[in-house]
């Protein structure tokens, strides 16, 4: 099981890089956040890396 724990003090670039690495290796990743600040770090990290894995015709 791949579990990436994100806190409000997490570096956005490192979160995005770790997320990309886990998805590249396993095909999926699980994020765990506690609190609004941590969620505010996790969502941009996820959105930032989505175009690298999926084709989104916008």
Question: Which of the pair, 52 or 9, is modelled with greater confidence?
Answer: 9
CA distance linking residue 58 with residue 4, whole number of Å? 29
pLDDT in the model for residue 17? 83
CA distance linking residue 17 with residue 25, whole number of Å? 12
pLDDT in the model for residue 38? 86
CA distance linking residue 10 with residue 31, whole number of Å? 13
Give a yes or no: residue 39 inside a domain: yes
Give a yes or no: residue 28 inside a domain: yes
Give a yes or no: residue 58 inside a domain: no
Q: How many independent structural domains does the chain possess? A: 1
CA distance linking residue 52 with residue 27, whole number of Å? 13
CATH number of residue 14's parent domain: 3.30.110.20
Give a yes or no: residue 47 inside a domain: yes
Please tell me the pTM assigned to this model: 0.69
Q: Which domain holds residue 38?
A: 3-53
pLDDT in tens, 18-43: 888 888 888 888 888 888 888 888 88
pLDDT in tens, 43-56: 887 777 666 666 55
């Amino acid at each position: 099981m791949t579990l990436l724990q994100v806190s409000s003090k997490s570096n956005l670039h490192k979160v995005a890089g770790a997320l990309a690495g886990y998805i590249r290796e396993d095909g999926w990743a699980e994020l765990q956040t506690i609190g609004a600040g941590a969620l505010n770090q996790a969502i941009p990290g996820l959105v930032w890396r989505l175009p690298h894995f999926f084709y989104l015709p916008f």
